[in-house]
Amino acid sequence: MDARPATFVADEIIPEIEMQKPIAIWLLVCCALVFVMVVVGGVTRLTDSGLSIVEWKPIVGTIPPLSESDWEEIFEKYHKTPQYKKINPDMSPDEFKNIFWWEYFHRLLGRIIGLVFFIPFLYFLVRKRIDRPLGLKLAGIFLLGGLQGVMGWYMVKSGLVDNPHVSQYRLTAHLSLAFVIYAAIFHVALGLLFPAGTLHKDNRFYSLHRFSQVLIGLIFLMVLSGGFVAGIRAGLAYNTFPLMNGHFIPPEIFMMEPWYRNFFDNMATVQFDHRMIAWILAILVPIFWFKSRQLALPSSTHLACNLFLFMLIVQISLGIATLLMIVPLPLAAAHQAGAMLLFTTVLWVNHKLR
């Protein structure tokens, strides 16, 4: 009997996957850089460093201050901002340098990510290692990265006029776009490393996959709500758990008019929403995990589900600790990193269940 079909699979499909591994590894490196940038961005926010650089110079801004006169010029520009006038009028040059460097490294990381993405993209394109569908996906991700840079400056501008704080709406848009870019890169990388298999006839597998998609949406919604928590500093209020200053639903939850403003501007409502999404996930994720244990899934898929449940426990614990300790910098940064790791595990689970 001719064994040609079997050898054809081995000779053609497997080498194709091997050829795509360098592209996948490059994309995972980009994911790691985006992860670092999100954490640094969180620290920048927590240290009130984001308004220390009052200009956006994508090319020239790469060079930091090199002389004392450079520092004096930059500090003088900061003197004109509402943050300096209303919050930091007694700030010393050394204190300014501390917040400057966080914002500088945050912007520098953005530039580095752009180069790390664009240069290998051109290389693989010239070497014809990227086909048209993949090329369009990667080009779309690159455009999203450019949009993210514009969104970052648009966010900063909101704190340079009258309000010494950036707009929570723009902050949340900036954060959510970072997660979208991360998810897009990670999805493409997983698709190259682990192409989709055949459809399973058991509807329970399909149901579990749909369940994971719902969880992706909920976790992304929790990220959005976390953006508003950070944007209006809602974590500095109601620092008790499980109740909010003795109430399950705080009485101030609808104190603003019109009513819809409460979901974006009211500390009580914003924090309550963030807590409620966490409670929903605390119920649904264990149910998802239990359902996964009832199916004959590959060991790597079970591992992904186990890590997903573990990361939820870690993330909720970090959130509670951050709240009870009134948002200390290390815990708050870890909580932001935990959000991205939780998001990563649910994306991995969803991919394994395709």
Same-domain status, 205 and 191: no
Distance of CA 309 to the CA centre of its chain: 19
pLDDT digits 0-9 by tens, 209-226: 999 999 999 999 999 999
CB 350 within 8 A of CB 212: yes
pLDDT over 70 at 196, yes or no: no
Look up tokens 């954490």; give the residue: 39
In a shared domain, residues 7 and 31? yes
pLDDT tops 50 at residue 5: no
> What residues contact 277, with CB distance under 8 A and at least 6 apart?
218, 221, 222, 225
Q: Is 60 exceeded by the pLDDT of residue 252?
A: yes
Helix ranges restricted to H, 9-89: 14-46, 68-78, 82-86
**What residues does 244 pair with on adjacent strands?**
247
Domain-ending residue, one of 195, 214, 249:
195
> Domain containing 27: what range?
1-195
Co-location of 5 and 151 in the same domain: yes
Q: Clarify whether residues 144 and 28 are in a common domain.
A: yes
Give the tens place of pLDDT for each residue, 28-53: 999 999 999 999 999 999 999 999 99
Tell me which residue of 125, 297, 106 sits closest to 200, measured CA to CA: 297
Distance CA 152, CA 110 (A): 10
Two structure tokens written together for 148: 């993210």
130 shares a domain with 103 = yes
Residues 220 and 259 in one domain: yes
Assess contact for 178 and 148: CB atoms under 8 A. Answer: yes
What pTM was computed for the model?
0.92
For range 251-271, the mean pLDDT: 96
Residue 155 has pLDDT above 50, yes or no: yes
Length of the chain as a residue count: 354
Structure-derived torsion over alpha carbons of residues 148, 149, 150, 153, reported in degrees to the nearest 10: 120
Tell me the residue type at 128. K
Provide Rg for the chain, Cα atoms: 23
Q: Are residues 131 and 49 in the same domain?
A: yes
DSSP state of 198: P
pLDDT tens digit sequence for 283-335: 999 999 999 999 989 999 999 999 999 999 999 999 999 999 999 999 999 99
Per-residue tokens: 202? 């058991």
